[in-house]
Chains A and B, each alone.
Chain A
Amino acid sequence: MKNGENKKTNNPEFWKSLKEYYNDPEVLKAKANEFADGVTDDFDPSEMSRVSRRKFLALLSASAAFTATACSDYRDKGDVVPYNVRPEGVLPGKANYYASTCSGCSQSCGILVKTREGRPIKIDGNSDHPVNKGKTCAIGQASILNLYDPERLQQPIIDKRKSSWKKADTEIISALKESMAEKKEIALITHQTDSQTEKKVLDDFVAAYPNTKIYTYELFDSGNRYDGWKKAYGVTPLPSIMWDKANVILSLDADFLGNEGNYIEAMRKYSSRRDAVNNASFNRFYIAEAGLSLTGMSADYRFRLSPDLQLEFILSLLNEIVSNDPAMRTKLNSAAFDLIFRNSLEKFAEKSGLDYGKLVNLVIDFKNNAGKSIVYAGDKLSPDVHYAVNLFNYVLGNNNLYDYKSVFTNRLELSDNKDLKNLVESMNNGMVGAVIHYDTNPVYHFPPELDYAAALKNVKTSITLSELPNESIAASYYAVPINHYLESWGDSNPRVGIYSLKQPVVAPIFGTRQKESILLTWIIGKTEAYSEDIYHSYLMENFKDSVYDKTDSAATFNHFWNTALHDGIISIDESARPPVDFDMANINLLKPSTASGGFTVILNKNYYLGDGRFSNNGWLQETPHPVTKVAWDNYASIAPNTAKTLGVEFGDFVRIKVDERNVDLPVVVQPGLIENFVSVELGYGRENSGEVANGVGFNVNVLLQFNGKSKWIINNAEVAKTGESYELVSTQEHHALDDESVKDFHKIRGIIKEGTVSEYKKNPGFIKEHDHELFGITRGHEYNDVKWAMSIDLNKCTSCSACITACNVENNIPVVGKDQVGRGREMHWIRLDRYYSGTPEEPKVSNQPMLCQHCDNAPCENVCPVNATNHSPDGLNQMVYNRCVGTRYCANNCPYKVRRFNFYDFRDHFADAYYQNDLTDLTNNPEVTVRSRGVMEKCTFCVQRIMEARSESIKDGRKLKGSDVQTACQQVCPADAIVFGDVNEEGSEIQKYREHELGYHVLEELYVKPNVTYIAKLRNTHSSEDV
């Protein structure tokens, strides 16, 4: 209609007079001249003022400027606007902390959210939470950026047009009712939630719309683990593992310190047995894996083993143990014994190429530590392997280490393949009236065999609930925006008897609603039914029935509820049933998989992007991969020899072909992999998912296997060079391990010092043997009061990178983007260096967090021409941004290369100033300067926290203690590897670490006297292997 109108008004010919209308020649002539005749008569330029217009303007502005400077009044300093009514408990300038629950992954760790003036700025772990005990991971830290993502959906979208809640709700409710009337299915696709109340909402939804079917999926699930457990122990819930009680650990392709299960808990417990300073007895950690995982980097022994051989491996080990131990044999029935007896370890060693001597040592370790050791299989391995592992642990009595006091709850049951196939079929048949993607992204996640995107087109009403744009939003008619978890109410029940609460710490920034409230509105079936409080009161009511009534608390429910909100966590004694006996009946179902020809491909979960839900988070995209150090991409990891055979190098494309599907990926040549094997991470190659996420990496979900024992392990793939190449960026340079000029330089230069446990026991001072006296030519500083120092225990550090993101959030570190990382301009104040030694086939990996060492004789200080970096009396190497002119001399002179230069105002530079807007500015920590272009920056030992502790101590009238300050990296470290404190305080923790025999400084011989002490890594190898 509008177009028609336009046409009408655009077209008519305008005319000024009738003469013109009739094309009078006079008028035509006048039209050709710009001015009428005679208009410039009596105009003589020579008689005019000699001051030209230009000069006049110059004089005018000069005099205006003069008046402004000379006669101006005071400069206006703006307003200072207090609250009208100051909310109780909010003191501007002071942080408030609220307990909540992290929703970054399915583990639901307890968190404390730090807010300033009502806006969340940092997430820390809740130390009262029995599982994560005050620690979080990289994802949890960075998840706060999603709250301030400028591309969050802000209002409901109907058919790509912005709309209102009222319209969307009305239309959706009538569509749901229509589906009911037409007897068509309503499919609700969700993730596995552990929230009892959310499950109840789903149940209510099914009750309101009985045609609803709930489908549950995860891109990475623990389904195989649960299946293996169910076969072994029936319906007994799955216990967690007491890693801290295990003397010997064997992991079969399980990345339990990196991204499987609650790795925060596992890291804490594992590293408590790697504590040389506090004299822990070391555990011995073996891993059998095909790729090189974060967990694998920490292992004392790595066996490179194809996933196909894992079952045979565990059965062979069991055979070797059982055959010489009649007592253990009695635990097996004859069928089991027959099966196991067929597997000989010696033959297995021959077949797999593993070192038989080492396998025998492993067997000896297990025998000596029966009941105090554990075998743990990875989520991706088939249920058969899990069953066999359970059998192994049962026979050795290792089920002592199952923690039945901390048992996993049953989440929503995963839909099996048949369900999903049926769903797609009925969608194609028009039997599905409405599809609701309940905070899920099946268009991206579902295996290509389902062809879900095409099926979705046959559904009349498609609804996607999401925070951020994604593939499913793009394919849906209705896009319904939901709250970030920091804006939401909720509960979670990650372990039996542990209930943690989620509370909003900020009102919804946009016109979003929380997902449960949206469903509740649809359940009631009226748009007016919605209120901000709808889920809050629902949650309280359900909590009263399901939790409060179970406690014999004398408090009223309101009191109970407020306490629970304050603490964030309720623990009640709901002891799980004791374990029943191992069910050996299923042993006949164990079938060793047949060896495959061609390549094996493993699809891994990315450590930071999860299943892709954090793709639009720049901090997580830029966190370098813990093993390969590549950021902003996924790639095919291939062993060096395989790469040679294929004729590819770092960055060259290979084509991976599985059946009809194929994908081209750039190669990273990765030491320590099995041959003819590719390891790829998912979560990349996003479309329609935001400025940061779009087009980063490659979508490898096409390789997901729909049928078969494991979704993520693919056999018989073809891999070939394509001839093209691609630019991958990494934060550490790549060099050949066998290049003599650089081989082991980290050991020769004393950057990494390490040894074995037996070596240390024999000679505790072994790492200092080659030390000699050093002397300097400068006068040292005097430290009469507090002197700050840090220690990092390399035995405990797993390279999980939580410290990097915690530092990013605390210190306002910008995202620089792929091209800048490629130029070595990443801004992280702490980096994780990874060094290889040994052979490319069997590398030993050493990790080292590297940050400003706050040297006593700092080389950077001497060279600054403007004294912008200098020394403080408490031992800090200070960096004064407003004095820095950006000569970069300091960075040149820093032996540790930890200084970072702002080549741009990176907030402005990255992706068309994506992160420079009023919303994202709210992420910034107001206690830390936002650095601009042209200044140098580096780790400050969180000086803002030191100053805060100092002001608190002055307020309380006491002396500042080292333990008053926790740096952000220390606070987050799940392995407790970082210690920070005052060296001059007698008996302090940091003193113990600094003076420990295993403590050393990197590049000690430069005599810069660094203040970060590294505790040398000890590998717990067999003493017989000592050289």
Chain B
Amino acid sequence: MKKSALDYILKVRLPITLFVIALTFVITFYVSRQERDSVGYAPIQPINYSHKLHAGDMGIDCEYCHTGVSEGRYALVPSVNICMNCHTISRKDRPEIIKLTKYYESGEPVPWKRIHKVPEYAYFNHSVHVNTGIQCETCHGNISKMEVVSQVRSFTMTACLDCHRDPEKQLPYLKKVNKGPENCAACHR
């Protein structure tokens, strides 16, 4: 029988097309995974603030600025007056501090770019985690070494559950740790 054009389409062209589509999808899926989970996201901030300098070299405690972390839901990005505790005196002449002082004096809040975000339908609470002894680095990475903060771990439900289900493995530094709740209402309500 003579090969028809239809045969050609079905036997050669179609499989190749499907294969290309599938391959593209799989490659894109894995390659873009980090980006989708925002791992590595390090946006340019309005003020070129260095965690490495403050938290690392100078050893300022995280809670000095992130005052809400053991109190409630939000760790809180510090309000400008906290920065000004030191910077009314220190390094007043640096361009970034001049920028900061301008914000302070005009009463404008600093529009920091958000890096870590849990979806709205998940009710995450910092204080519950911090007060059980979990260190900030466990989720946020070693911030004290970062000039520019970027997201280190993915913040997906799988990431949460990995830790809730097997805390000993994820939090080896805690001597005694209970499993986290796995029921829906623990995070969703």
- Do A and B come from the same complex? yes
Interface residues of A (CB under 8 A from B): 69-70, 72-86, 91-94, 870-874, 876, 878, 880-883, 927-929, 940, 943-944, 947, 950-951, 954-955, 957
A947/B186 in contact, CB under 8 A: yes
Chain A residues, Cβ within 8 Å of B115: 77
Compute how far the CA of A929 lies from the CA of B41 in the bound complex, rounded to whole angstroms: 28
Cβ 8 A contact of B127, one of A74, A872, A955: A955
A85 and B79 in contact (CB under 8 A), knowing A929-B189, A947-B189? yes
Compute how far the CA of A720 lies from the CA of B86 in the bound complex, rounded to whole angstroms: 83
Closest Cβ of chain B to A64, distance in Å, is: 16
Chain B residues, Cβ within 8 Å of A870: 183-184
A82 and B109 in contact (CB under 8 A), knowing A940-B189, A951-B128? yes
A93/B73 in contact, CB under 8 A: yes
A881/B121 in contact, CB under 8 A: yes
- Beyond A880-B184, A954-B132, 4 additional contacts (C-beta under 8 Å) are A78-B113, A83-B109, A876-B185, A951-B125
Chain B residues, Cβ within 8 Å of A872: 183-186
A77/B113 in contact, CB under 8 A: yes
B68/A79 in contact, CB under 8 A: no
Judge if B74 is at the interface, Cβ distance under 8 Å: yes
Cβ 8 A contact of B72, one of A72, A91, A881: A91
Interchain residue pairs with CB less than 8 A apart (27):
A69-B28, A74-B43, A75-B35, A77-B113, A81-B77, A81-B111, A82-B76, A82-B77, A82-B79, A83-B81, A83-B109, A84-B80, A85-B80, A85-B107, A86-B81, A92-B76, A93-B74, A871-B183, A874-B183, A876-B185, A878-B184, A929-B188, A944-B123, A947-B189, A951-B72, A951-B131, A954-B132
Chain A residues, Cβ within 8 Å of B107: 84-85
Chain B residues, Cβ within 8 Å of A944: 123, 189
A77 and B184 in contact (CB under 8 A), knowing A940-B189, A947-B125, A951-B128? no
Cβ 8 A contact of A93, one of B68, B181, B184: B68
A947/B123 in contact, CB under 8 A: yes
Chain A residues, Cβ within 8 Å of B186: 872, 947
Closest 6 CB pairs of A and B: A93-B73, A872-B183, A83-B79, A86-B79, A93-B72, A80-B114
Compute how far the CA of A86 lies from the CA of B66 in the bound complex, rounded to whole angstroms: 12
A927 and B185 in contact (CB under 8 A), knowing A84-B107, A93-B74, A955-B131? no
Compute how far the CA of A81 lies from the CA of B32 in the bound complex, rounded to whole angstroms: 29
Compute how far the CA of A81 lies from the CA of B111 in the bound complex, rounded to whole angstroms: 5
Closest Cβ of chain B to A783, distance in Å, is: 12
Closest Cβ of chain B to A414, distance in Å, is: 49
**B residues 101-133 in Cβ contact with A at 8 Å:** 103-104, 107-115, 117, 120-121, 123, 125, 127-128, 131-132
Closest Cβ of chain A to B112, distance in Å, is: 5
Chain B residues, Cβ within 8 Å of A79: 111-114
B38/A77 in contact, CB under 8 A: yes
Chain B count of residues within 8 A CB distance of the other chain = 48
Chain A residues, Cβ within 8 Å of B15: none
**B residues 139-189 in Cβ contact with A at 8 Å:** 181, 183-186, 188-189
Compute how far the CA of A943 lies from the CA of B186 in the bound complex, rounded to whole angstroms: 9
**B residues 68-91 in Cβ contact with A at 8 Å:** 68, 70-74, 76-82
Cβ 8 A contact of A82, one of B43, B112, B185: B112
Chain A residues, Cβ within 8 Å of B67: 91
Chain A residues, Cβ within 8 Å of B40: 74
Compute how far the CA of A640 lies from the CA of B90 in the bound complex, rounded to whole angstroms: 85
Closest Cβ of chain A to B113, distance in Å, is: 6
Compute how far the CA of A936 lies from the CA of B136 in the bound complex, rounded to whole angstroms: 37
Q: Which residue of A lies closest to B119 (CB)?
A: A882
Closest Cβ of chain A to B99, distance in Å, is: 14
B38/A951 in contact, CB under 8 A: no
Closest Cβ of chain B to A82, distance in Å, is: 4
Compute how far the CA of A83 lies from the CA of B71 in the bound complex, rounded to whole angstroms: 17
Compute how far the CA of A878 lies from the CA of B38 in the bound complex, rounded to whole angstroms: 30
Compute how far the CA of A69 lies from the CA of B35 in the bound complex, rounded to whole angstroms: 11
Closest Cβ of chain A to B92, distance in Å, is: 18
B79/A84 in contact, CB under 8 A: yes
Chain B residues, Cβ within 8 Å of A882: 121, 188
Chain A residues, Cβ within 8 Å of B114: 77-80
Closest Cβ of chain A to B123, distance in Å, is: 7
Compute how far the CA of A93 lies from the CA of B68 in the bound complex, rounded to whole angstroms: 9
A880/B123 in contact, CB under 8 A: no
A80/B77 in contact, CB under 8 A: yes
Q: Which residue of A lies closest to B188 (CB)?
A: A880
Compute how far the CA of A871 lies from the CA of B183 in the bound complex, rounded to whole angstroms: 8
Compute how far the CA of A940 lies from the CA of B109 in the bound complex, rounded to whole angstroms: 37
A82 and B110 in contact (CB under 8 A), knowing A77-B115, A955-B70? yes
A950/B128 in contact, CB under 8 A: yes
Q: Which residue of A lies closest to B40 (CB)?
A: A74
**B residues 37-58 in Cβ contact with A at 8 Å:** 38, 40-41, 43
Q: Which of A80, A85, A927, A957 has the most CB of B within 10 A?
A: A80
Cβ 8 A contact of A77, one of B35, B117, B125, B181: B117
Q: Which residue of A lies closest to B35 (CB)?
A: A74
Compute how far the CA of A421 lies from the CA of B140 in the bound complex, rounded to whole angstroms: 76
Compute how far the CA of A999 lies from the CA of B78 in the bound complex, rounded to whole angstroms: 53
A82/B108 in contact, CB under 8 A: no
B74/A929 in contact, CB under 8 A: no
Q: Which residue of A lies closest to B104 (CB)?
A: A84
Compute how far the CA of A78 lies from the CA of B112 in the bound complex, rounded to whole angstroms: 9
Closest Cβ of chain B to A590, distance in Å, is: 61
Compute how far the CA of A647 lies from the CA of B132 in the bound complex, rounded to whole angstroms: 71
Q: Which residue of B lies closest to A940 (CB)?
A: B189
A74/B38 in contact, CB under 8 A: yes
Compute how far the CA of A954 lies from the CA of B71 in the bound complex, rounded to whole angstroms: 11
Q: Which residue of A lies closest to B77 (CB)?
A: A82
Chain A residues, Cβ within 8 Å of B70: 955
Compute how far the CA of A881 lies from the CA of B184 in the bound complex, rounded to whole angstroms: 10
A954 and B111 in contact (CB under 8 A), knowing A82-B78, A92-B68, A947-B189? no
B128/A954 in contact, CB under 8 A: yes
Closest Cβ of chain B to A788, distance in Å, is: 11
A94 and B79 in contact (CB under 8 A), knowing A79-B113, A878-B184? no
Chain B residues, Cβ within 8 Å of A874: 183
Chain A residues, Cβ within 8 Å of B73: 93-94
Chain A residues, Cβ within 8 Å of B38: 74-75, 77
Compute how far the CA of A171 lies from the CA of B171 in the bound complex, rounded to whole angstroms: 72
Compute how far the CA of A836 lies from the CA of B98 in the bound complex, rounded to whole angstroms: 76
Q: Which residue of B lies closest to A952 (CB)?
A: B127
B80/A70 in contact, CB under 8 A: no
Closest Cβ of chain B to A855, distance in Å, is: 16
Compute how far the CA of A871 lies from the CA of B181 in the bound complex, rounded to whole angstroms: 13
Compute how far the CA of A535 lies from the CA of B72 in the bound complex, rounded to whole angstroms: 36
Chain B residues, Cβ within 8 Å of A83: 79-81, 109
Q: Which of A73, A870, A876, A955 has the most CB of B within 10 A?
A: A955
B112/A80 in contact, CB under 8 A: yes
Closest Cβ of chain B to A724, distance in Å, is: 48
Compute how far the CA of A871 lies from the CA of B185 in the bound complex, rounded to whole angstroms: 9
Compute how far the CA of A636 lies from the CA of B4 in the bound complex, rounded to whole angstroms: 83
A80/B113 in contact, CB under 8 A: yes
Chain B residues, Cβ within 8 Å of A927: 123, 189
Compute how far the CA of A940 lies from the CA of B113 in the bound complex, rounded to whole angstroms: 35
Chain B residues, Cβ within 8 Å of A78: 113-114, 117
B103/A84 in contact, CB under 8 A: yes
Closest Cβ of chain A to B93, distance in Å, is: 22
Q: Which residue of B lies closest to A86 (CB)?
A: B79
Compute how far the CA of A676 lies from the CA of B80 in the bound complex, rounded to whole angstroms: 73
Chain B residues, Cβ within 8 Å of A74: 35, 38, 40-41, 43
A84/B108 in contact, CB under 8 A: yes
A873/B112 in contact, CB under 8 A: no
Q: Which residue of B lies closest to A944 (CB)?
A: B189
Q: Which residue of A lies closest to B132 (CB)?
A: A954
Compute how far the CA of A951 lies from the CA of B71 in the bound complex, rounded to whole angstroms: 9
Closest Cβ of chain B to A381, distance in Å, is: 49
A81/B71 in contact, CB under 8 A: no
Q: Which residue of B lies closest to A92 (CB)?
A: B74
Chain A residues, Cβ within 8 Å of B111: 79, 81
